Amino acid sequence: MPGVHQHAPGQIAQIAARAHQAGVPAVLLFGIPRDKDERATAAYAEDGVVQNAVRAIKQRAPDLTVITDVCLCEYTSHGHCGMVQRDGEHFTILNDESVQIIAKAAVSHAAAGADIVAPSDMMDGRIGAVRRALDAAGFSETAIMSYAAKFASCFYGPFREAAESPPQFGDRRTYQMDPANGDEALREAELDLEEGADILLVKPALPYLDILWRVRERFARPTAVYHVSGEFAMVKTAAEKRVLDERAAVLEIMTSLKRAGADFIITYWALELMEWLRS
Ligand code: PBG
Ligand code: ZN
């Protein structure tokens, strides 16, 4: 993915501190563990890659908000966001077993110092389970940003390459949402709020601006939008070919996300944006 790199644990604090100095208010961490297994054990290891990164960043830049992606797909050998039971060509996602591991991962991130945990797996009941687990472990101050409306999208392609997490069989359509079904997104958002979500997230961004608008209008709660890797790659590629002016395109896209109701924008351009907004 152009302009996107995996960072070694030893460098991450320095990079995050530089972003903080540039005015970026928060970072969202994804981990790529050394070893993956069927049960995603590395996802909740106390000295896991994300847990270590959170501690290092908090030491170096205590005021930078640290958000962690909570999912199993980077940690499972099969690349699915939950645990699976396989039967030849068929597989089922083990929802409740997955939710337990996801809650354990969230608690381990909070214990390392994460301010916000962001479950992106789309299992049923995960927000309630994460909230209960956090509270039980004494982390009632840790907030939850829920991927409430996460659609099964082709625009995640570059991320899956970068995160080394493409599913080894099947796809994610059984747990991510149908792009044709906008009402389902609102129902999911409502459930997540009932279960204790503090921030609702819509993803991807531009093809789903109507959903962002509806979620923000309907619930009037803090709403985030995730401008994803494929959306980023489209503009980057066009800019490299001199078809678009990158700065103008990005500023227009970000403006439209704000206009459609985003309180928070997750973007791969955060660093550049801070410079562009100042100049
Ligand atoms: C995995 C996850 C994905 C992204 C964020 N978390 C990929 C997926 O669901 O396949 C995509 C991010 C991006 O494309 O920028 N839970
Ligand atoms: Zn996942």
Closest C-alpha residue for ligand 1 atom 10 = 156
Amino acid at 24: V
Whether 194 and 200 have beta carbons less than 8 Å apart is answered as no
pLDDT given at position 8: 87
The pLDDT, as a whole number, for residue 159 is 87
Residue 167: the pLDDT is 82
Substitution site in 98, 155, 160 for ligand 1 pocket (most atoms within 8 Å of beta carbon) = 160
Choice from 67, 73, 121, 171 to test ligand 1 binding pocket (greatest atom count within 8 A of CB): 73
Residue 81 has pLDDT above 80, yes or no: yes
- Ion ligand 2: residues, Cβ under 5 Å: 71, 73, 81
Question: For this structure, is 203 an active site residue?
Answer: yes
270 neighbors 194 (Cβ within 8 angstroms): no
Look at ligand 1, atom 2, and give the residue with the nearest C-alpha: 120
Say what the pLDDT of residue 272 is. 93
Whether the CB of 273 sits within 6 Å of ligand 1: no
Query: Which residues pair with residue 236 across a beta bridge?
Result: none
Q: Is 90 exceeded by the pLDDT of residue 137? A: yes
pLDDT tens-digit readout, 225-266? 999 999 999 999 999 999 999 999 999 999 999 999 999 999
160: CA distance to ligand 1 center in Å?
7
Pairing of strands 90-93, 116-119: unpaired
Please say if the pLDDT value at position 209 is more than 80: yes
- pLDDT confidence tier of residue 86, bands split at 50, 70 and 90: confident
- Domains of the chain plus CATH, in order, are 9-278 (3.20.20.70)
Q: Distance between CA 206 and CA 254 in Å, rounded?
A: 10
Question: Annotated catalytic, 258?
Answer: no
Q: Whose CA is nearest to atom 6 of ligand 1?
A: 120
Q: Residue 141 above 90 pLDDT?
A: yes
Q: What is the pTM of this model?
A: 0.95
Give the mean model confidence (pLDDT) for residues 94-106.
Answer: 96
How far, in Å, from the CA of 229 to the mean position of ligand 1?
Answer: 8
Q: Is the confidence at residue 206, as pLDDT, over 80?
A: yes
- With 80 as the cut, is the pLDDT of residue 1 above it? no
279 alpha carbon – ligand 1 mean position (Å):
31
**For the chain, what is the mean pLDDT?**
94
Quick one: pLDDT at residue 160?
A: 85
Atom 11 of ligand 1: nearest residue by CA position: 156
Residues 213, 22: Cα–Cα separation, whole Å: 29
Residue 25 near residue 65, CB atoms below 8 Å: yes
* Mean pLDDT across 16-20: 96
The finding on whether 268 has its CB within 6 A of some atom of ligand 1 is no
In the predicted structure, residue 169 carries a pLDDT above the cut 90: no
Q: What is the mean pLDDT of residues 98-106?
A: 96
Q: How far is the CA of 249 from the centre of ligand 1 (A)?
A: 23
Give the other-Cβ count within 10 Å of 217's Cβ.
11
Q: Is the CB of 123 under 6 A from ligand 1?
A: no
Show the tokens assigned to 156. Answer: 């995640």
